[in-house]
Amino acid sequence: MEVRAVAQAGVPKALVASTFFERSIGLAPAGAAEVALREKRPAWDNMIEVAPGANSAPHADTLIVRRAAIDLGAKSVIVLPLTVEGQTYGMLTLYAEERDFFDDEEITLLTELAADICFGLEFIAKQERADYLAYYDALTGLPNRSLFFDRLTLQIGAAGRDRLNVALVLMDLDRFRLVNDTLGKQAGDTLLGSVAQRLKQTYRTQDTLARVGADTFALAVSGVWHAPDVVRVLEAHNRKLFGQPFLLGQEELRVSATAGIAMYPDDGGNPETLFANAEAALRKAKEQNAPFLFYGPEMNARLADALRLENKLRLALDNGEMMLWYQPKVDVRTRKITGFEALMRWQDPESGLVPPAKFIPLMEQTGLIMEAGRWALLQVARDCRNWDAGAGRLPRIAVNVSPIQLRQKNFVDTVVEAVDQMANAGGALDLEITESTIMESVEAIIPKLQTVRGLGVEIYVDDFGTGYSSLAYIARLPIHALKIDRSFVIGMDQGKENLTIVQSVISLAHSLRFNVVAEGVETEEQAALLRELGCDEMQGYLISRPVPSSEVSALLRAMT
Ligand code: C2E
Ligand code: CA
Ligand code: CA
């Protein structure tokens, strides 16, 4: 046991230095402190300088303290243990400069004083316990309903300020009654404790988590939510929570849960409404035997739409419904084709040609983009084989790359494969990567870009001007060209500001020896200005819209 000095008055620090009683036991006869600690009663010594042991075993810690006291002129000592509910938390030690100082009267007084301190300590401990019970669930250690509401109120306040949504999820264990009835209440309690344990491990600490009913858990998660995102988070977490069976004594039990979800602010602007609506959604989910339901019908509808679209997209890849369209880039002066950009299209048998804005974001959320992106990189070579460049060479083709593809370990391998096939088809491959993608993880991306460039692949920084690049990084990047975002090109012939931005990007690029491509050029005025500013290449409806692969040869004949 370690005795540590926590406070002192009127004595130097040396006297209350930490003391290890264990190390002193047997080395010296017990002093007042040891007796007080062991017997949990006040102990005193009114002649410390002649007390037994004063002349023995100088390395015993207790003796060191005693000797320091004697050196200071102390003659008497009393030690009062501070004991709450049978456990000693501290000792109050008083020294006096006189022999026989602690007489009966003094001892009675000091014992009462110590008792008062203990009473205070006991009161504080009880209060803490009471507070704990008022806000926490004793069985699982999770916050209870009333603390949950406190925290939810704060969370909603913060979300309102930051324009975030909060998903309030009420989760009810399925067939919990059955567990209680067949395996016993003890098993039921164990299960609840284990579920709570996994919940704590699964959800981030900043998520508000609570037990709000017998077998109902609540959690509130802030973020920018769309219905499919909430569900994706829930499903991923449910796999962690319920993927493994629970061990109840000898029994292994598989458990599942039903959830009702209400979204702040759409389904309620205050904790009470939000909670009531999540409860309503939970009831409905149970009635309908659905694993989860949102309160708002439009959320459920949007979710159903997204899930349907996701399934259709999965099939679209297998069914060959994806294709690449091609838009030429031309030299700003000669207007001859310098290359093509490949743009994905989906030929949906139900609704016709779908533009990428409608499906690329969902592909990125679901991870489908990895397969689709790889498909695009390899499809370019297949398309190339059907083109006729006449006497000239085939132009270079740039493929758009998603940040998710770039993060893949095998990204470079896929590019190597695509470059190979392109070489066989007589073409060359380039990549377009958005500025924000590059800036997000510039250090991790640079080596990949360097490898890829070593294969003869040129890198274009897409949507340049929207991504807050750091100049220090841009200069270091192994890139070929910056593509000025369409939003700056649009207003070029109207406002001075956009013109200035385009001008600055061009001179910046040229000073770093990068090429500049202007995107989305629609008018001759824009083209003339770009020419004046020394822009190298341009791309846009003025020259040509994206065309299907079958029309590329005609463009090549007309524009090379
Ligand atoms: P992006 O890479 O910035 O592609 C340029 C977009 O601008 C294309 O839209 C193109 O059709 C459009 N565009 C070109 N010239 C003009 C013009 O003069 N006026 C107007 N209003 N628009 C013009 P698209 O094909 O709908 O593609 C949209 C975005 O989808 C692309 O933006 C790109 O970020 C993404 N995307 C397309 N294909 C792929 C792909 O294979 N992989 C990945 N990861 N993303 C792709
Ligand atoms: Ca692009
Ligand atoms: Ca772009």
pLDDT in tens, 479-503: 999 999 999 999 888 778 889 999 9
Percentage of residues in the chain with pLDDT exceeding 70? Answer: 93
Residues with CB under 5 A from ligand 2 (ion): 400, 432, 462
pLDDT in tens, 55-110: 555 555 666 777 778 888 889 999 999 988 788 888 898 999 999 999 999 999 99
Residue nearest to atom 21 of ligand 1 (CA): 520
Supply the pLDDT for residue 51.
Answer: 59
Measured in Å, residue 21 CA sits from the centre of ligand 2 at 75
Give residue 16's pLDDT band: very low, low, confident or very high (50, 70, 90).
low
Global pTM exceeds 0.85: no
Supply the pLDDT for residue 522.
Answer: 97
Best mutation site among 343, 363, 401 for ligand 1 pocket (most ligand atoms within 8 Å of CB): 343
Ligand 1 neighbour 373 (Cβ under 6 A): yes
- In terms of residues, how long is the chain? 560
Tell me which of 27 and 178 has the higher pLDDT: 178
Angle in degrees, 0-180, between the axes of helices 145-162 and 104-135, rounded to the nearest 10: 60
| Closest residue by Cα to residue 303 from 405, 255, 214, 232 | 232
Give the nearest ligand 1 atom to 432 CA.
Answer: 2
Looking at the CA of 402, name the nearest ligand: 1
Supply the pLDDT for residue 193.
Answer: 95
Are the C-beta atoms of 29 and 59 separated by less than 8 Å? no
For the four alpha carbons of 505, 509, 510 and 516, in that order, the dihedral sign comes to negative
Supply the pLDDT for residue 232.
Answer: 83
Residue nearest to atom 19 of ligand 1 (CA): 520
Are the C-beta atoms of 517 and 465 separated by less than 8 Å? no
Ligand 1 neighbour 541 (Cβ under 6 A): yes
Position of tokens 């919940």? 199
pLDDT in tens, 17-54: 555 554 554 445 567 888 888 888 999 999 888 755 54
Give 434's contacts (C-beta < 8 A, 6+ positions apart): 403, 461, 462, 463, 466, 467
Give the nearest ligand 1 atom to 324 CA.
Answer: 41
Return the top range by mean pLDDT from 388-397, 436-445, 509-518: 509-518
Percentage of residues in the chain with pLDDT exceeding 90? Answer: 62
Give 80's contacts (C-beta < 8 A, 6+ positions apart): 36, 42, 91, 92, 93, 94, 110, 111, 113, 114
Measured in Å, residue 546 CA sits from the centre of ligand 3 at 13
Give the H/E segment covering residue 84. Answer: strand 76-84
Longest dimension (CA), the chain: 119
Best mutation site among 400, 408, 547 for ligand 1 pocket (most ligand atoms within 8 Å of CB): 400
Looking at the CA of 356, name the nearest ligand: 1
247: tokens are 């061990």
pLDDT in tens, 133-154: 889 999 999 999 999 999 999 9
Ligand 1 neighbour 518 (Cβ under 6 A): no
